[in-house]
Structure 1
Amino acid sequence: MNFRFQNLLGAPYRGGNTLLINNTLLISPVGNRISVTDLIKSQTLTLPFQSSSNISRIAASPDGVFLLAVDDNSRCLFINLRRRLVLHRISFKKPVAALNFSPDGSFIAIAAGKLLQIWRSPGFRKEFFPFELVRTFADCDDKITALDWSPDSNYVIAGSKDLTARLFCLKKLSGFNKPFLFLGHRDIIVGAFFGVDKQTNNVSRAYTISRDGAIFSWSYSGTDDKFDKLGGDDSEPPSPGCGYLLHTGKWELLKKDFFMQAPAKLTACDYHKGLDLVVVGFSNGLFGLYQMPDFICIQLLSISKVKITTVVFNDLGNWLTLGCAKLGQLLVWEWKSESYILKQQGHYYDVNCIAYSPDSQFLATGADDNKIKVWTVSSGFCFVTFSEHTSAVTALHFMASNHVLLSASLDGTVRAWDLFRYRNFRTFTTPSSKQFVSLASDPSGEVICAGTFDSYEIYVWSLKTARLLDVLSGHEGPVHGLMFSPTNAILASSSWDKTVRLWDVFEGKGAVETFPHTHDVLTVAYRPDGKQLACSTLDGQIHFWDTIDGVLMYTIEGRRDIAGGRLMTDRRSAANSSAGNILAGGSSKYICMYDIADQVLLRRFQITLNLSLDGVLDFLNSKKMTDAGPLDLIDDYNSDAEDGVSKQTRRNLGYDLPGSMPNRGRPVIRTKCLRIAPTGRSWAAATTEGVLVYSIDESFSFDPTDLDIDVTPEAVDAALNEDQPSRALSLSLRLNEDTLIKKCIVAVSPVDIPVVASSVPSRYLQRLIEAFADLLDSCPHLEFMLRWSQELCKAHGQYIKQNSRNLLPSLKSLQKAITRLHQDLAETCSSNEYLLQYLCSTGTMK
């Protein structure tokens, strides 16, 4: 039952800004979670903690150790990125539109509404209140939208919605009462940046960029005065030579340039100080790269037709990260070679169905956007997308061969996909168009069955010829569940007509058994041995049938277990909400796991804590209830107008139609599909947040693809008999059998330990250390085991250092076992020492 959250698939990016730290790690917010992508290893992981609502802004310290994440409720998390832990939390009183660490990492600039706040950056120390507010500037007349630090960490330039940018000094100086204003723009400031001289590394210019596509270049001509030459009333005077005084020199407007992309709005921008490059993104999907200060266009390309919400350089300046929140699209573009480093796009509508491959290495997802995506579970990357369907994908199924995927859609087709050549090699249709909502294949892979939504029939095809073999009639409602028995060719179907029927497909006898229910049956599943059938009904119950005798064995009442979460439009609490009538369909924030033998609830997983979704709170805040309804559902501002979306565009998209956007577009939390991996070590759920993967393993160390016909217990014994300890240990680790692993460890000669230890693959190191920890409790060969541990640390020291977080649980177990033995031996040796002294003394006396 030790399933823990492993990763979030199906949504690489949902909005907010992104970061590229250490040139290789891409940090992106995904709802209320944070995703970290290693661009070199091509792996992505989701940090295990959640924010209270969707994360809107993130910032990283210059050394890449700390991460700040602020959500829509202005709640901030201070994160140790390497340890993946939340160190501190703080809430700001105003919405945060921008935040940034100072170049020396000691301060944090935060734009909280109209206020610019300078906070001292917390460290590793545990403090009661780690955040210390150093300065607050209240000079802006509207919300601050952009921030940038000077290289010496003494000045901040801030752009605002009042069409101006201001220069603020961190120190309290006697001759600097009012900030310098950069004027002239006619639209909201999107970006404000300091430019530096490459030779002296001092600020020599500044750039301000507005939403209407204008970039103003400002030149700075200053004196050689520094902070140590100027007196001030600051209690902490700066150290000598810490930076030049930017407010004593002269700022002047050098020139105005325009990107000329009207009517599109400029929505995102970034500046690289070392290369003097500016990248900008527009609301029409274009992005441009310009060499400053000459304003030379290097590239002007389009990645989509929707708004670009984030653009950012890496430290070297050769990679650009581009994100589109609406499409869930995230790209890393190397502009010099004009090639993609990363190209990932999630589903931009809800995921309807998921399916594991037989070896549990791949996960296929189908959604309302008519697309099918196949993900590698271990890396979290999508490696192929199929878009031939013209309507929502409703069901997916992997064939036993592992490289054939079947899909059913509302467009009236069932398609077979080749995962080697990435093509659609079979299309199954019917004489008249039908809407398919369920799919199954027999264990041999000869026939394919699909259930319909409109005609209530089940169609049967041959996979080899794509010929329609049979049409199974009898249901009086949509057939939403199909599954073949794992042991024979009996097909089970569940329907909204309150029945489950068993069909003998090959003999053509029609329905051989009917199991009646009192409510609509939503889905059906066989036990792996085929002797039991589980059915979920609309009233929140799970019925278990004996497939041999055809009798009802027992029923689990799941309605109360899964209840929770109140919608904004509900008039009653979550416990009495009318939505409980469809909780068996997944309209809940919980996923329940039951013990079938005892019919008891083992564990309840809460899939999200995101308050940006409807149905997460059990009790609504009565202070936000008005006569016109909940305050959160009253649209009292025109946010789309600021993004360049007119009212006519909103009507064309259907946003302003009556009843078209309930809850002001707030998505409702629910689970549409749930699948357990064939290995039983993980399971996945298609939710409103994306595809959540839960796993027993801390990492995917067991790879079923390592198993072939030669990897058997007999092969392990044969290798031991032939005096091949390295091969025997490798085979036992591939089998993942505890007894075999321990047997191979003990069989190694002490002389061969260094050689065998160095031959162990790094991915099996955690499993091997866990075996050592177990062996130390029962093995009498203490020196032998300590020698093993020492040689492993010598051979794999670098790997252990780089993956200390993943190996920490097993290393702690080994340390505890060694410490326990050390204490026992210390007591034994101490008592023996006194006994020996006594015996020696008595011998002398005699």
Structure 2
Amino acid sequence: MNYRFQNLLGAPYRGGNVVISNNTLLISPVGNRVSVTDLIKSQTLTLPIQSSADISRLAASPDGVFLITVDNNRRCLFINLRRHVILHRISFKSAVTALQFSPDGSRIAVAVGKLVQIWRSPGFRKEFFPFELVRTFADFDDKVTTLNWSPDSNYLVAGSKDFTARLFSVNLIAKTKPFLFLGHRDTVVGAFFGIDKNTKRVDRVYTVTRDCYLFKWEWQDGKLDETEGVDMETDGKDGNLEENGGYLVGGKWRLLRKDCFNQAPAKLTACDYHAGLDMVVVGFSNGVFGLYRTVPDFVCIHLLSISREKITTAVFNEAGNWLTFGCAKLGQLLVWEWRSESYVVKQQGHYFDVNCVAYSPDSQLVATGADDNKVKVWTVSSGFCFVTFSEHTNAVTALHFMASNHCLLSASLDGTVRAWDLFRYRNFRTFTTPSTRQFVSLAADQSGEVICAGTLDSFEIFVWSMKTGRLLDVLSGHEGPVHGLMFSPTNAILASSSWDRTVRLWDVFEGKGAVETFPHTHEVLTLVYRPDGRQLASSTLDGQIHFWDPIDGVLMYTIEGRRDIAGGRLMTDRRSAANSSSGKCFTTLCYSADGSYILAAGTSKYICMYDVADQVLLRRFQITHNLSLDGVLDFLNSKNMTEAGPMDLIDDDNSDTEEGVDKQSRAKLGYDLPGSLPNRGRPVIRTKCLRIAPTGRSFAAATTEGVLVYSIDESFIFDPTDLDIDVTPEAVDAALNEDQQNRALILSLRLNEDSLIKKCIFAISPVDIPAVASSIPYRYLQRLIEAFADLLESCPHLEFILRWCQELCKAHGNSIQQNSRNLLPALKSLQKAITRTHQDLADTCSSNEYMLRYLCSTSAKK
């Protein structure tokens, strides 16, 4: 039960800005969450923190400790990035279009509508009012679009939709007019300070406009007359310049040059400037990006096309060697090294809904299939997608990993079942039917020789040979779509569920057809076998889960889940969530690795976990708090209800969406009928597929927001059932000091504290391992195996741990075999760790072998 959110896979970048912290950490918004990618280690992690809506703006402090995010509801979170906790909250009165920390980290500049606000940056300390508004500049006539600080944190330059840019002196006490940059003919998309490399002071300003022009403004300290430049009037010019606002007050600015990017009729949509390299990177609405040098001459270094869609963000890293681009329409993030012209990261999530998820037998890989016709394979530990298969021409509806761990099957609505080779990354076999069918379910027997797929339109089950690809049989009898299909884990019996209110068992190899039929009172949505094959669970449209004995063919018990999964009211609902009948059923089920509990989910914001033996609800997981999705709130605001329906359904927005996905694209997600926008394009929260890893340590849920991965919390778990007054950490230390390692290990296992268990394991001499292993009681065996699996991931003492595992198998082989069901999750975790270590050693040995051959050949030549 101790599952906690770990990561988010397959969710696309939907818009907003991205930032690079500490030169190597790419921070990007993913819906209402924040994803952090380590560009050196090639690992991505999604923070467990959620905003109330999709995040539109974010900024990181210069030291990389703090992160500030603002969502579409104007709510701001101040986050400790290293500890993953929220420190402070605040709400702004208008939409935030830009925000940035000052270089010294003491202040935050925020563009709120037509205003530029300067806030004092809060710290770690809990305060009643942590955000303090220092100054407000209200000089613009339209929305502020861009902000940039000077390196000394004394000046701020901002651009606006009113075709102007203004330079503010932040520390100025007396009332002073900002410097005004005129002459632009379109919205100012970017404004940046240029630095004199000798004096380290600001000597120029760059402004970039939406109509693809770059303006270079030069500052001169009172050397120009009023006719040569833009007049910057200030109050109190005659006094000391530093006292009245700094070295930029009292001088004059002139337009030095104006350069065109020559991309018309495309519009410039994103830009960034690197002061150290004097380079500017720009992205355009036609998918082209350009890298230009600004000093001494305006020179194009690179001009390349990523796609045909608008680039929504373009950012330099601190060193200036990497460029980051984001395309919200495609859900794509790219990190490109411009010197070597190579990709550092190229990630793209599923643009449409993820329909199915499958774990590999060793739990190291996760495969996902979606409505965008693609199959992606992810590494669980890093969160990266390493291969994408796009041969399907319609939505992918089902996935299945073969026992070999290197073969993946996928079924699609395009009428094909394809087999993928994960070594060569190719489609090596395609299973088809004489006439086109739409497949919605998929199964393979334990030997991997027979492949079965259920259809949506003809209500049949097709059976193929894996070796030859030949169609062997067509199983008929169902009178509705076959949405559930699974082979028994212990024999060759195939179970199928259909909307015709039946579950049927088929003897595929004997060719006897349906050997058993389990009738239901409502449509059957899905089914799943317990891992030992002695129980079968099916979900029906009335919200019940039925548990059957597949051997005797009797109904064992039923769980009523309508009240448990109910929650969330859609904008189009005329009834409250409690009185509505829609969505109160489970569309996906999944047993735990030991079969003691079952996970269930459907068109709801909840995932329910039930104890199978007692038929009670153990826990509900709420998959999201994102109010940008429909069905998250239980109660809608009655003030927004009219006689004609909710006010939110009235579409009074005639302008195009500036960033993210436009309404027409959101309507294509499958939630809305073509040509209509009943929810204004808001996706409905749902869970389409649940899968538990074979190790039992994690599970994945294919939801509207992507694939949510939950894993067991590794923190201290207190279990008082096996404790008495003498079982304490002090008693463990005392036993170790008295050279009673066996007693110390058993005491630590009774305490169930991870650090003490590992301490006692390493205190045991390799010579004493056989004796200690044989004396371990069976009830502590699972906890000890889990500790070894965890140690193999990070401990360098490989031979020591493997010796322990070998002696445990020798001493407790019969017990492990007799109770394999209970120990299966721990054994799978150990197998996963050993397999991963073996692969790493094999790669290292191969590399060393080739290196030794090379050295021997070169020495022989000499």
Q: Normalising TM by the smaller chain, what interval?
A: 0.7 to 0.9
Which digits, 9 at most, give the CA deviation of each residue in 1:103-128, with x for residues without a partner? 11111000011111000011122211
Q: Is the 8 A contact 2:19 2:28 kept in 1?
A: yes
* Distance in 1 separating the partners of 2:516 and 2:661: 57
Q: Deviations over 1:201-251 (max 9, x none)?
A: 111111111111111111111269xxxxx9989xxx999899843231111
Q: Whole-Å Cα distance in 1 between the matches of residues 412 and 753 of structure 2?
A: 42
Give the Cα separation in 2 of the matches to 1:576 and 1:649: 32
Equivalent runs, 1:483-632 vs 2, <5 Å? 483-582=486-585, 584=587, 586-632=602-648
CA contact (8 A) 1:218 1:252 kept: yes
Shift of 1:180: 1.7
Q: Deviations over 1:597-625 (max 9, x none)?
A: 00000000000000000000111112223
Stretch moving more, 600-609 or 56-65: 56-65
Is residue 654–residue 660 contact of structure 1 (8 Å, CA) maintained in 2? Answer: no
Equivalent positions of 1:811-830 (< 5 A) are none
CA distance in 2, matches of 1:504, 1:652: 41
Q: 1:449-464, aligned counterparts within 5 Å?
A: 449-464=452-467
Q: Which residue of the partner structure matches residue 38 of structure 1?
A: 38
Structure 1 stretch displaced more, 619-628 or 196-205: 619-628
Q: CA offsets per residue over residues 562-590 of structure 1, 9 Å max, x none? A: 11011111111111123245564711000
- Distance in 2 between the 1:166 and 1:655 partners? 44
Matches within 5 A, 1:324-723: 324-582=327-585, 584=587, 586-640=602-656, 659-698=675-714
Decide whether the 8 Å contact of 1:441 with 1:448 is kept in 2: yes
1:210 alignment counterpart: 209
What residue identity is the alignment partner of 1:276? D
> Which residue number in structure 1 is paired with residue 24 of structure 2?
24
State the distance in 2 between where 1:261 and 1:181 align.
Answer: 27
Counterpart secondary structure, 1:663: coil
Please report how far the alpha carbon of residue 748 of structure 1 lies from its aligned counterpart in structure 2 after TM superposition.
2.3
CA distance in 2, matches of 1:513, 1:238: 96
Structure 1's 525 and 672: CA in aligned 2 closer, same or farther, altered over 3 A?
A: same
Q: Deviations over 1:762-800 (max 9, x none)?
A: 8446999xx9xxxxxxxxxxxxxxxxxxxxxxxxxxxxx
Contact (CA 8 Å) 1:461, 1:467: kept in 2 or not?
A: yes
Deviation readout 1:299-354 (Å, 9 max, x if unpaired): 01111111111110000101001111121111100001100010111000000101
TM-score normalised to structure 1 length: 0.81
Asked if the contact 2:14/2:661 (under 8 Å) is kept, the reply is no
Percent of pairs with identical residues: 78
Residue identity opposite 1:292 in structure 2: T
Amino acid at match of 1:606: Q
Offset, 1:489: 0.1
Q: How many Å separate the matches in 2 of 1:439 and 1:750?
A: 51
1:89 is aligned to: 89
Please, what is the CA RMSD of the aligned residues? 3.3
Matches of 1:355 and 1:464, distance apart in 2? 22
Counterparts in 2 of 1:4 and 1:651: CA distance versus 1, 3 Å: closer
Cα 1:242/1:100, change in 2 over 3 Å? farther
Shift of 1:654: 12
**In 1, distance between residues paired with 2:180 and 2:132?**
28
Q: Which residue pairs with 1:297 in the alignment?
A: 300
Q: Is the 8 A contact 1:173 1:231 kept in 2?
A: no
Report SS of the residue matched to 1:560.
helix
Alignment of 1:833-844 (within 5 A): none
Q: 2:108 aligns to what?
A: 108
Whether 1:748 aligns to 2:747 is no
In the alignment, structure 1 residue 317 sits paired with structure 2 residue 316: no
Query: Residue 449 and residue 495 in structure 1: after superposition, are their counterparts in 2 closer, same or farther (change >3 A)?
Result: same
CA gap 1:422/1:241 in 2 versus in 1, 3 angstroms: farther
Contact 1:681–1:697, Cα closer than 8 Å, also in 2: no
Structure 1 residues 641 and 88, CA gap change in structure 2 (3 angstroms): closer
Letter in 2 for 1:275: L
Change in Cα spacing, 1:419 to 1:167, as seen in structure 2 (3 Å) is same
Instruction: Call closer, same or farther: CA 1:20–1:180 in 2, change over 3 Å.
Output: same
Supply the AA of the counterpart residue of 2:108.
Answer: I
Matches of 1:530 and 1:216, distance apart in 2: 72
Q: Deviations over 1:627-653 (max 9, x none)?
A: 553333322223317679999999999
Equivalents in 2 of 1:466, 1:415: separation in Å? Answer: 10
Aligned counterpart for 1:245 among listed residues 243, 247, 270: 247
1:42 and 1:145, CA in 2 relative to 1: closer, same or farther beyond 3 A?
Answer: same
2:666–2:681 CA contact under 8 A, matched in 1: no
1:664 counterpart SS class: coil
* SS of residue paired to 1:571: coil
Could you tell me the TM-score, scaled by structure 2's length? 0.79
Could you tell me how far apart the structure 2 residues matched to 1:578 and 1:599 are?
Answer: 23
Code of the aligned partner of 2:218: S
CA distance in 2 between counterparts of 1:373 and 1:764 reads 28
**Letter of the aligned partner of 1:99 in structure 2?**
L
| Aligned residues of 1:364 and 1:375 also touching (Cα < 8 A) | yes
Structure 1 residues 261 and 590: CA distance shift in structure 2, 3 A:
same
Distance 2:753 2:445 in 1: 31
- Residue matched to 1:153: 153
Residues 659 and 577 of structure 1: CA distance in aligned 2, closer, same or farther (over 3 Å): farther
The equivalent position to 2:285 in structure 1, one of 241, 260, 283, is: 283
In the alignment, the residues of structure 2 paired with residue 345 and residue 63 of structure 1 have an alpha-carbon distance, to the nearest angstrom, of 29
The change in CA–CA distance for 1:475 and 1:223 in structure 2 (over 3 A counts) is same
Output the CA distance in 1 between the equivalents of 2:121 and 2:482: 58
Q: Give the deviation of 1:266 after TM superposition.
A: 1.0
Counterparts of 2:53 and 2:664, CA distance in 1: 30
Question: How far apart in 1 are the matches of 2:140 and 2:667?
Answer: 35
Report the Cα distance in structure 2 between the residues aligned to 1:609 and 1:232, rounded to whole angstroms: 52
Are the equivalent residues in 2 in contact too, given 1:539–1:584 (CA < 8 A)? no
Mapping 1:770-789, distance limit 5 Å: none
What amino acid sits opposite 1:748 in the alignment? S
Tell me if the contact between 1:157 and 1:193 (Cα under 8 Å) persists in the aligned partners.
yes
Give the secondary-structure state (helix, strand or coil) at the position aligned to 2:378: strand
Q: Output aligned runs, 1:242-281, within 5 Å.
A: 244-281=246-283
Deviates more, 1:610-619 or 1:12-21: 12-21
Is the 8 Å Cα contact of residues 663 and 681 (structure 2) preserved in structure 1? no
- Which residue identity does 2:581 align to in structure 1? S
Correspondence for 1:718? none
Looking at structure 2, the residues matched to 592 and 186 of structure 1 have their Cα atoms a distance apart, in angstroms, of 57
**Counterpart residue identity of residue 168, structure 1:** F
Q: Aligned pair in 2 of structure 1 residues 746, 168: CA closer, same or farther (>3 Å)?
A: closer
Q: Deviations over 1:46-97 (max 9, x none)?
A: 1111011101001011111111101001111111111111111111111100
Which residue identity does 2:653 align to in structure 1? Y
- State the partner residue of 1:713: none
Aligned twin of 1:182:
181
* Structure 1 unaligned blocks of 5 or more: 225-229, 700-724, 753-759, 772-846
Matched residue SS, 1:578: coil
Q: Distance in 1 between matches of 2:118 and 2:705?
A: 34
The residue type paired with residue 17 of structure 1 is N
